[in-house]
Chains A and B, each alone.
Chain A
Amino acid sequence: MKKLTPAVGGAGGEAASEGTSRREFLQVGGGAAAGAALMLGTSGAASVAFGKSEAGAAAEPKATVTKPSGSPPREPVTAYVRNAQRGEVTVMSGKHETTYHDPALAKRLIDAAGGTIK
């Protein structure tokens, strides 16, 4: 099966990317049209953003319940906690998927879900 490999642009091996097989590289080239450059750019930008999030998590306000403001976008940025104990969060942006080691983000998501990391 596919194995996790360090993402280009990831911070200190904390990010890992799936979908680096030759087939998926080819698919990204055509299906996403924008190609590998966009894929890598997205990964790098997300990595930086999450780096900030982890460092400043304690200072940020808690999540509050709100009413959705409308339909989700056609290509929403989607994240899920892959492994709460290890602080792994997988983020999907467009057709790219990256797994980050971000315990603070994992905890915020678990907290928002009403649970705790065990």
Chain B
Amino acid sequence: MSSHREAPEVSKDPVADNTDTYAFVSPDNPTTVTIITNYLPAEVPAGGPTFFEFGDDVLYSIYIDNDRDGRADIVYEFCFESEITNPNTFLYNTGPIGSLGDPNWSKRQSYTVSRIGRKHAMVLAKGLACPPCNIGPRSTPSYAKLEKEAVHSLPGGQKVFAGQRNDPFFVDIGSIFDLGDLRPIQNLHLIPTEATAGVDTLQTLNCHSIALQIPIGQLTANGSAPNEVTNPNAVLGIWGSASRRKVKIRHDGKDDQSAAGPWVQVSRLGSPLFNEVLIPMSRKDEWNAREPSEDEDFLPYVQHPELAKLLPLLYPKQFPNLEGLTAPREDLVAIFLTGLPAGVVPGFQNVSKKGVLAEMLRLNVAVAPASSPNPLGFLGGDLAGYPNGRRVTDDVTNISLRAVAGATFPLVHKGYKPDAAVSAVEQGITPLATRTQATFPYVTTPHDGFDFPSVTK
């Protein structure tokens, strides 16, 4: 969750596993959009001696659809290169790392970021330094300084950061994948136990983030920064991906490798939990390899989600209305595949062109950031939150569980009454305020391995 180790093949390839994608109008810089794509799920902070890093042999991409056809019009590509500056040590660092150029740092990584539009491709910057992983008070005593150095301002007005972060996604993985248990209502479960609060599984775990802040006018189809929600140009489709070369040739007895052939997409992510919960295990890697414009093939899984059938079985007598709901879930189709047309939610739309069925995060950039964001997004009356893009503080698990449980079906069928239990559906987590930060890159300082030697702390 939301797409951590979600598919059989990519679960074995963590550096290419796109775990989360976020896209929102930057709250402290509302003329820009911030997009964050995360990789490397569940990094243990004590990750030595070979600390985590991006894959030099992976192409990381962020896609923008700005004409609502479900196809990319702009791609931002990130290519990483690692360097061993001291070939004679087994240590990641041979002394405190005081700066991104510190000779004590033995293995470091930098990257190139490119922008490819429909007419032009250009390298935005080369040799941008990643911060080191957060190791401990002896090795990275001034981590705040290092992560600040790793925020790069580009000539075109963009900001970019790539490196280790505390994984901002909060979810109770241990309970949810134990037969759909939700600890706050597990007394109602088919196999009941006493109700308790939820557990934030990823609280002490890290990931690797790519964060990019871009002026809105560089993303929209006509170069404008729309301020009318009804303006079609205000709607951006956004997703991330990771790709590998088709062939890799290992050199006998050497670390070096060769590659051949085109990039092959092995992971993608727009909306959280889509591949995780809606797509069956047998087709998850196939979905990862597809483009959003090819998603019509997966429509039945959205119209008739397996989880909606399981909830009445797992929580007996709690979801009688959901149990009787056999109509296609056009509410979920709108949220995930078509966008919400005008008139469904007052004062909002993020709809694609007619006939487009494409899973993407859809962000209407004309909706101003909320002064007091509600983690339940739309379900909490906050149109600046999920599923209008996704902020790092949005409780997408609760939103998605309640939506699948029937909370959003009245948007398309006014006569449907959600079960009373829907409002009780929750994972029961209030994430620590320190799980995110208020300014770019919004994903915050990773935990270090000395102070968090075990995930049980």
Query: Is A13 interfacial (CB 8 A cutoff)?
Result: no
Task: Say which residue of B72, B79, B114 sits within 8 Å of A23 (CB atoms).
Answer: B72
Task: Say which residue of B77, B261, B291 sits within 8 Å of A95 (CB atoms).
Answer: B261
The residue on A at minimum CB distance from B59 is A31
Kindly count the residue-residue contacts between A and B in the assembled complex, taking CB atoms under 8 Å apart: 77
Task: Say which residue of A26, A75, A95 sits within 8 Å of B258 (CB atoms).
Answer: A75
The residue on A at minimum CB distance from B293 is A22
Query: What 1/0 mask marks residues of chain A from 1 to 30 whose CB sits below 8 Å from any chain B CB?
Result: 000000000000000001101111011011
Chain A contacts for B254, CB-based, 8 A: 71
Q: Are A27 and B246 in contact (CB under 8 A)?
A: no
Query: Is B247 interfacial (CB 8 A cutoff)?
Result: yes
The residue on A at minimum CB distance from B122 is A30
Question: Interface residue tally of chain B, by bracket?
Answer: 20 to 34
Query: Is A74 interfacial (CB 8 A cutoff)?
Result: yes
Q: Are B259 and A22 in contact (CB under 8 A)?
A: no
Query: Is A107 interfacial (CB 8 A cutoff)?
Result: no
Chain B contacts for A92, CB-based, 8 A: 246-247, 260-262
Chain A contacts for B75, CB-based, 8 A: 23, 26-27, 30
Question: Interface residue tally of chain A, by bracket?
Answer: 20 to 34
Task: Say which residue of A21, A71, A74, A96 sits within 8 Å of B259 (CB atoms).
Answer: A74
Query: What 1/0 mask marks residues of chain A from 63 to 78 whose CB sits below 8 Å from any chain B CB?
Result: 0000000011111111
Q: Are B258 and A73 in contact (CB under 8 A)?
A: yes
Query: What 1/0 mask marks residues of chain B from 325 to 366 whose CB sits below 8 Å from any chain A CB?
Result: 000000000000000000000000000000000000000000
Q: Are B260 and A71 in contact (CB under 8 A)?
A: no
* Nearest CB of A to B372, in Å: 38
Q: Are A78 and B260 in contact (CB under 8 A)?
A: yes
* Nearest CB of B to A80, in Å: 9
Chain A contacts for B447, CB-based, 8 A: none
CA gap between A97 and B256 in the complex, in Å: 23
Chain B contacts for A96, CB-based, 8 A: 262
Chain A contacts for B260, CB-based, 8 A: 75-78, 92-93
Contact (A76, B116) CB under 8 Å given A26-B75, A97-B246: no
The 5 residue pairs across chains A and B that have the minimum distance between CB atoms? A92-B261, A30-B116, A78-B260, A29-B121, A30-B121
| Chain B residues proximal to chain A, CB less than 8 Å | 59, 61, 63, 71-72, 75, 77, 79, 114-116, 118, 121, 123, 243, 245-247, 249, 251, 254, 256, 258-263, 265, 291
14 residue pairs of the A-B complex, CB under 8 angstroms, read A22-B71, A23-B72, A23-B75, A26-B118, A27-B263, A29-B116, A30-B75, A30-B77, A31-B59, A31-B114, A72-B258, A76-B249, A77-B260, A78-B247
Taking A19-B262, A97-B262 as known contacts, 15 extra A-B pairs with beta carbons closer than 8 A to each other, sorted by chain A number, are A21-B291, A23-B291, A27-B77, A27-B262, A27-B263, A30-B77, A31-B77, A31-B79, A35-B121, A75-B258, A75-B260, A78-B249, A78-B260, A96-B262, A97-B246
